[in-house]
Amino acid sequence: MPNENHLAHMARTLGAWFAALLLFFPLGWLFLTAFKTELQAIHVPPLFVFEPTLDNFSEVQRRSDYLLYARNSLITSVVSTVLGLLIAAPAAYSMAFFRTRRTRDILMWMLSTKMMPAVGALVPIYVLAQMAGMLDSLSALIIVFTLSNLPIMVWMLYSNYKDIPPEILEAARMDGASLWTEFRHVVMPLSVGGMASTGLLCLVLSWNEAFWALNLTSAKAGTLATLIASYSSPEGLFWAKLSAASLLAIAPIVVFGWFSQKQLVQGLTFGAVK
Amino acid sequence: MAYLQLKHITKSFGDAHIIKGVDLQIQKGEFIVFVGPSGCGKSTLLRLIAGLEPITSGQLMLDGADITRLPSGKRDLAMVFQSYALYPHMSVFDNMSFALKLAKVPKAEIRQKVERAAEQLNLTAYLQRTPRELSGGQRQRVAIGRAIVRAPKVFLFDEPLSNLDAALRGNTRVEIHKLHKALGATTIYVTHDQVEAMTLADRVVVLKDGLIEQVGSPLELYDRPANRFVAQFIGMPSMNMLPAKALASVTRLAGGRVPPNGFVGVRPEGLRVHPGVGVGVPGRVDLVEALGSDTLIHVDVEGTTMVARQNERTALRIGDTVGVEIDPNVLHLFNQDGQTLAAQGSPA
């Protein structure tokens, strides 16, 4: 019956909108709160209509160097992503095209390292960083981010490379291609989408990473995650300023993610199906 | 000296021995076809020659040079894959010129070579298209073109027509034949299709279980098979293989030269089916297959099924009693090990 279908369709649409709004609500509320005064922020009942102010943002920039933290976030995310791709691509290539009996086991093992909570490795990593004199340095963060994201990167690229028919590589070999030529002229162009998705995902993961940033850095190498955390102070919770700081922290990555959402979704679902 | 020599080539994957010792001499300009049932090792042998798999033991010589351990790209061989293996992100022109670009051939020369090959293969109009925009037959021609532009010492074809429909297969087969005549290039062609083997080859290499059963021209293999396997593999429908024990009447025809556990082979065209009894060995019609140009009649004679081929249409039906006349001049005799004893007479 067309009517029933129409009703079901409406119900599904409403359900979808409801779920979407529910998921979006925290971000939306954050956005609103950033433009409120502290009093407006803790008002009961919660205010949806109010006179917006930019005071919180100037306070955040005045109190702590937003640009420094943003720069650190950018550097650690981008460098760890690039480094990760440089390591993961050859690894995934060898596993996809030169499989052995142990390949599957190695991949599972790599993935299993992600199953341990980060806090389990906190003490050894902290001690290592301290001994190397790398506490509160960008290098320590870059190394940790790269290594944390490598299992995911290898898996995603492996899934991607497996889709390339091996005969195409054999044809390249017959045409006289060296290993690098094969990779540069055949594998890379055919896996550009996959590499982009992998890179994007790891960029987002590194940007949002808070645990290691908080534990391994302080004033010099702090990222935006530490900026946000600094607003939960013993003096009390300054909701409005916290929201403003958070908004400033997540804005770049949200905008970036918005423009690359298609690639991100592709990369995430790709890995899941395989 | 032979242009391409395989000297006792073996290939094993762990405990699995795929190629068990192949010796072969191929002359320059020859069109050699490797044929055999699935799993006989013909594709593996081709890949060993191409360098896509390492040879376990043995030696491979090309034009006097030992290429056994040389990487594929340096052997001066070109391969046409069953799945075409075109570079999906490159245009037809780029696909065909990739090898030349890697070899740092000047741009003008590349253009000239690619355009010439494209003309030979009727691909000129498609040079800027990507493989996605081409039909199966066109893609296959691009794969062939990619091999031609390199002017290699040997062309290798790995079942190139398997993915094409019957009509296209026939046309492309003729094109490959013409191309070989025009280029005169040494070619090794792998197929499981007999018709391709018979029509394209200068010599056919029949493989079974990693070993060569027989090498010879197509008609040599047809008229003088070395053993039962080759006798039944070449020829469609297969040669009738009649156990000497089972059909005394047939064995008598061979004049007592068949050993007790041996076999008498006779091709379908060597049998003549006569309606009713009286002529030849009595039997009963099991099946009639009218192909239009030929008619195949399956006859049950004393428990053994024989297939006869004739040019004329027939009114015979299943269950009819018939007499099967066997031409004693075209019998093939095999001993109990399957080796040929002698082929009698010459083919009609």
Cβ–Cβ of A174/B73 closer than 8 Å?
Answer: yes
Q: Which residues of B touch A172 (CB under 8 A)?
A: 87, 98
Contacts of A185 in chain B (CB under 8 A): 98
Q: CA–CA separation, B97 vs B50, rounded Å?
A: 20
Alpha carbon of A176: minimum distance to chain B alpha carbons (Å)? 4
The pLDDT value recorded for residue B242 is 86
Give the pLDDT of residue B346: 39
Sign of CA dihedral A214, A220, A221, A223: positive
Q: Which residue of B has its CA nearest to A188?
A: B89
pLDDT (tens digit, 9 = 90+) per residue, A44-61?
Answer: 888 888 888 888 888 887
What pairs with residue B22 in β-bridges? B9
Q: How many angstroms away from the CA of B33 is the closest CA of chain A?
A: 20
- Testing the interface with A: which of B77, B84, B89 to mutate, by most A Cβ within 10 A? B89
Which of A100, A173, A175 to mutate to test binding with chain B, by most B CBs within 10 Å of its CB? Answer: A175
- List, in sequence order, every beta strand (DSSP E) within chain B: 4-13, 16-26, 31-35, 57-62, 65-66, 77-80, 154-158, 186-191, 203-208, 211-216, 240-243, 263-266, 271-275, 281-290, 295-301, 304-310, 321-326, 332-334, 340-343
Phi, psi of B11 (to 5 degrees): -145, 125
A192-208 vs A261-273: helix crossing angle, rounded to 10: 100
**How far apart, in Å, are the Cα atoms of B164 and each of A85, A164, B20, B143, B161?**
40, 22, 32, 13, 5
Contacts of B50 in chain A (CB under 8 A): 174
- Looking at the DSSP bridge assignments, the partners of residue B33 are B189, B204
**pLDDT greater than 70 at residue A267:** no
The DSSP secondary-structure symbol of A43 reads -
What chain B holds in terms of domains, given with CATH numbers, is: 4-223 (3.40.50.300), 242-343 (2.40.50.140)
Chain A residues within an 8 Å CB radius of B85: 165, 167-168, 170-171
Q: Which two tokens stand for residue B299?
A: 């006859």
User: A270 pLDDT band (50/70/90 cuts)?
Assistant: low
Residue in chain A closest to B50 (alpha carbons) equals A174
Closest chain B residue by Cα to residue A168 = B85
Mutate to test the interface with B, among A100, A174, A183 (most CBs of B within 10 A): A174
Distance from CA of A235 to the nearest CA of B (A): 60
Q: How far is B235 from chain A (nearest CA, A)?
A: 32
* Confidence at A133, pLDDT banded by 50, 70, 90: very high
State whether B85 and A189 contact (CB < 8 Å): no
Interface membership of B9 toward A (CB under 8 Å): no
Give the distance from residue B97's alpha carbon to the nearest chain A alpha carbon, in angstroms: 10
Chain A touched by B256 (CB under 8 Å): no
Residue A170 has pLDDT above 80, yes or no: yes
- CB-nearest to A176 from B88, B102, B146 is B102
- What pLDDT is attached to residue A274? 40
Give the closest-approach CA distance of B153 to chain A in angstroms: 13
For β-strands B211-216 and B57-62, DSSP reports them as: unpaired
pTM: 0.81
Residue B320 backbone dihedrals phi, psi, to 5 degrees: -65, 145
Cis status, amide bond into B237, omega within 30 of 0: yes
Band the pLDDT of A235: cuts 50, 70, 90.
Answer: low
Cα Rg of chain A (Å, integer)? 23
Partners of residue A170 in chain B, C-beta under 8 Å: 52, 72, 79, 81, 85
Of B26, B27, B25, B18, nearest in space to B48 by CA? B18
Nearest to A167 among B71, B85, B98 (CB): B85
Domain range summary for chain A, segments of one domain joined by +: 58-273
pLDDT band at A269 (very low <50, low <70, confident <90, very high): low
Q: B103 and A190: CB-CB below 8 Å?
A: no
- CB of B301 within 8 Å of a chain A CB? The answer is no
Give how far B206 is from chain A: nearest CA, Å: 25
Of A231 and B211, the structure prediction assigns the larger pLDDT to: B211
E-assigned strands of chain A? Answer: 232-233, 236-237
SS3 A260: coil
Q: Exposed, middle or buried by CB within 10 Å (0-12, 13-18, 19+), for B98?
A: buried
Of A174, A185, A190, the CB nearest to B50: A174
Total number of residues shown for chain B: 348
Residue from B131, B186, B140, B157 nearest B3 by CA: B186
In this prediction, residue A233 carries a pLDDT of 66
**Nearest-by-Cβ selection for B73 from A165, A176, A189:** A176
| A93 to chain B, closest Cα gap in Å | 17
Q: Print pLDDT tens along chain B (348 aa).
A: 789 999 999 999 988 999 999 999 999 999 999 999 988 999 999 999 999 999 999 999 999 999 999 999 999 999 999 999 999 999 999 999 999 999 999 999 999 999 999 998 899 999 999 999 999 889 999 999 999 999 999 999 999 998 888 888 888 888 888 889 888 899 999 998 888 999 999 999 999 999 999 999 999 999 999 999 999 999 989 999 988 877 777 777 777 777 878 888 999 999 999 998 888 888 999 999 999 999 999 999 888 899 999 998 988 999 999 999 888 888 888 888 888 886 544 343
Paired tokens of A84: 């990760």
Indicate left, alpha or beta for A232 from its phi (over 0: left) and psi (-120 to 50: alpha).
Answer: beta
The predicted pLDDT at position A237 comes to 67
Residues of A in contact with B81 (CB under 8 A): 167, 170-171
Q: Which residues of A touch B99 (CB under 8 A)?
A: 174-176
Contact criterion met (CB below 8 Å) for B116 and B182: no
How close does chain B come to A201, measured CA to CA in Å? 25
Chain A residue numbers touching B54 (CB-CB < 8 A) = none
Q: Say yes or no for a CB contact (<8 Å) between A190 and B99.
A: no
Is B78 an 8 Å CB contact of chain A?
yes
Topology annotation, domain A58-273? MetI-like fold (1.10.3720)
Tell me the nearest-neighbour CA distance from A168 into chain B, angstroms.
5
The sign of the CA dihedral A145, A146, A151, A152 is positive
- With an 8 Å Cβ cutoff, the interface of chain A facing chain B consists of 165, 167-168, 170-178, 181, 185-186, 189-190
- What pLDDT, on the 0 to 100 scale, is given for residue A228? 81
Q: Which ipTM value was assigned to this complex? A: 0.84
